[in-house]
Amino acid sequence: MLEAENAILRDRVATLERDAGLHLHLPPGLGLTPHEARVFLALLKRDVCSKEQLMNAAYDLLHDGELPAIKIIDVFICKIRRKLKPHDISIGTLWGRGYYLDAEARQRANDMITTFNAALSRPAEAA
């Protein structure tokens, strides 16, 4: 009985993640790790993300084992900022509230991701 319920919940989580856009493909040139990518995608979906929200994005509910300290989010943000700087995408901090992408950074990121995903969905041209 519990196994069936768990399977249903896993399917539901996968559906919600897909609907939330968490399964977009990011350009590999960004060099983001899987955890960093999930944090970045969460920032794209909200005006402001708290550390707790980013922690939930980085480590899904199906995570087995102990989670790292929430300070890891600061580390992820630092690394993501460095990797996004060449693309003129910056992450802002709202002290006491969380992190955000301003409208211009969000637009640049969305344009880059849309272009990359559109290229992935095009059929390969015959040689």
Q: Note whether residue 16 is domain-resident.
A: no
pLDDT band at 27 (very low <50, low <70, confident <90, very high): confident
Q: Note whether residue 118 is domain-resident.
A: no
What's the pTM value of the predicted model, to 2 decimals?
Answer: 0.74
Q: Which residue has the higher pLDDT, 85 or 14?
A: 85
70 Cβ partners below 8 Å, 6+ apart?
51, 52, 55
Contact call for residues 73 and 59 (beta carbons, < 8 A): no
Q: Note whether residue 96 is domain-resident.
A: yes
In this predicted structure, the answer to whether residue 63 has a pLDDT above a threshold of 80 is: no
Which CATH number do you get for residue 64? 1.10.10.10
> How far is the C-alpha of 86 from the C-alpha of 83, rounded, in Å?
7
Count the domains in the chain. Answer: 1
Q: Note whether residue 124 is domain-resident.
A: no
Q: How far is CA 58 from CA 20, 22, 106, in A?
A: 14, 11, 19
